[in-house]
Amino acid sequence: MELIVATRNKDKCKELQALLQDLGVRIRTIGDFPGAPDVVEDGTTCEANAIKKAQSAARFTGLPAIADDTGLEVAALDGRPGVYAARYAGESATYEDNWRKLLRELNGVPVSRRQARFVTAAAIAYPDGRVQMALGTLDGVITEQPRGTGGFGYDPVFLVPEKEKTLAEMTPEEKNQVSHRARAFQRAKELLQEASHLTGV
């Protein structure tokens, strides 16, 4: 079995390949397929964006494909940036642009009101049109200053209270034990294993 990881984000590719490595299948990325269409992530939910990316990759390659989309919901900002987390500071924003905008918007908000939640939707699309969905969440607090040099995205400003570390202060192994993406992909792996047993995909 081969499985396509439907992302061109190199940081995310590396993380997803680590999360999926024990599946016993060959992991390829959509970047391995010249001419694969770019997908416009214009859905209003993470689920919609994940499904759109996975279905596009499955149709183009003829192989099962998995894609995810992650939102960041900050309570004090009425759930923003939400599904727009990756482009919060603009379409061409860097990771740092996005988290710096978030910190500016939370300037003066006390720690007791800086609760946040990551939500990852992982979609598996099969060439026959079937789609399966797995969700993962991680609750935390937005810090007042960035901490740590690992990870990507909002990791430097997302504190996991029970670990007393931001995601950027964790090793990749530590992060992959607790993260929203790890939780979503653990469930996705179970779905893939069930599908392979039932259908021989």
Q: Between β-strands 2-5 and 26-29, what pairing exists: parallel, antiparallel or unpaired? A: parallel
Where is the binding site for Mg(2+), in residues? 69
Active site residue 139: no
152-187: b or e for each residue (b if 16 or more CB lie within 10 Å)?
ebbbbbbbbeeeebbbbbbeeeebbebbbbbbbbee
Q: How many other CB atoms are there within 10 angstroms of residue 4's CB atom?
A: 26
Annotated catalytic residue: which of 38, 69, 78, 128? 69
Where is the binding site, in residues? 7-12, 69-70, 152-155, 175, 180-181
Q: Between β-strands 65-74 and 2-5, what pairing exists: parallel, antiparallel or unpaired? A: parallel
Rama region for 192: left / alpha / beta (φ>0; ψ in -120 to 50; rest): alpha
Tokens at residue 169, please? 């202060």
Positions marked catalytic: 69
